[in-house]
Amino acid sequence: MNFIRDIKLNFVVNSVISIMLGLVLVIWPESVQEVIVYVIGVVVLMLGIGCLLAFIKLRAWTIGGVFDMFSGVVLLMLGVWMMSTPDDFSKTVLRMVGLFVLINGLMASGQTFSLRTATYARWWLSLMFSVVTIILGLVVTINPTFAGNLVFRVIGAILIYNGASNIWISTRVRKYVKNKESLKETIDVEAEIIDEDKKY
């Protein structure tokens, strides 16, 4: 019973943490993005320093050594950029993603007209999907802040739903178990009364 109780407690605690994280993402999406980029920037910076230290220690002007030096410098600069201006870095990455999506949408629209030329009956479905892709790409490219906040808020909403639904399920299960135990106790008491009546 203690094992089962511990599992239920961990389940509820994880659900509460999920709700709290979800609220943080919904309320402060920009701050969360900056913190994530900053932490990744620290990791990238440390990797760059490690590569440079490895090159300095070995002092090998081989292809591998030069690659370590070059990688170290690039990672060092990238880490500094991410840590100094996390907001600008996240916007740049999102704009690159938006451009990638936009280009794919334009390519898909070109294939759509090929389908129309080939007299494909449902070519308009392909056109609709490509237009949606182009619009999404434009939104992310033009307004990366809105797109980033929207993504984090959606993730936050999912976490809140996950935690709330888990807690609700846990309370329903607990209520069901209590009712079942109460019913079992009532049946046992009635059975004892019947046995005592039979004795007399």
Domain ranges of the chain: 2-199
**Whether the predicted pLDDT of 119 surpasses 80:** no
Would the pTM count as exceeding 0.75?
no
Closest CA to 103 of 91, 92, 95: 95
User: What pLDDT is recorded for position 189?
Assistant: 46
**Whether the predicted pLDDT of 78 surpasses 80:** yes
Q: How many CB atoms lie within 10 A of CB 21?
A: 17
CB 159 within 8 A of CB 15: no
**Whether the predicted pLDDT of 26 surpasses 90:** yes
User: What pLDDT is recorded for position 53?
Assistant: 85
**Whether the predicted pLDDT of 80 surpasses 60:** yes
Over the chain, what is the mean pLDDT? 81
